[in-house]
Amino acid sequence: MTSYRVLLTEEAADDLLRIEDFIIERELASATPDLDVVRRLRDAVDRALRLLEFSPYSCRKAARALNDKQRELIVPFGSAGLVAAFEVRGDIVRVGAIRHQLEQDFH
């Protein structure tokens, strides 16, 4: 069985921070804020990314893929979840972007 190394680009790491900031702001504006939501988000992302260590080709092909190595991983979280766009290059899985499914620029 092939083992893959998962790398987050700087852009993907920035995406996660942006999503966390959005979630924190939303929770602080709530009448009943869930102060544990960021930890649960990180746990969900970590669990999902572990799949890429052994089975990246089980994920769906990216909608605008130029080849079959460009894929998308669905990260279940809350009512919508996240999508991590990645590309397989040899034994490296490079995560290039992470988007919340409710973002306006989500395709």
Q: Is the pLDDT of residue 107 over 60?
A: no
Please report the pLDDT score of residue 67 as a whole number: 84
| pLDDT of 101 | 86
DSSP secondary structure string, 43-105? HHHHHHHHHTTT-GGGSEEPTT-SSTTEEEEEE--TTT-EEEEEEEETTEEEEEEEEETTSTT
Amino acid 65: pLDDT: 77
The domain limits of the chain are 5-100
Q: What's the pLDDT tens digit per position in 44-101?
A: 999 999 999 999 999 999 887 778 899 999 999 988 899 999 999 999 999 999 999 8
pLDDT at residue 2, as a whole number: 83
Q: Tell me: the pLDDT tens digits for 12-22?
A: 999 999 999 98
Query: What pLDDT does residue 104 have?
Result: 59
CATH 3.30.2310.20 holds for 5-100: yes
The reported pLDDT for the residue numbered 99 is: 94
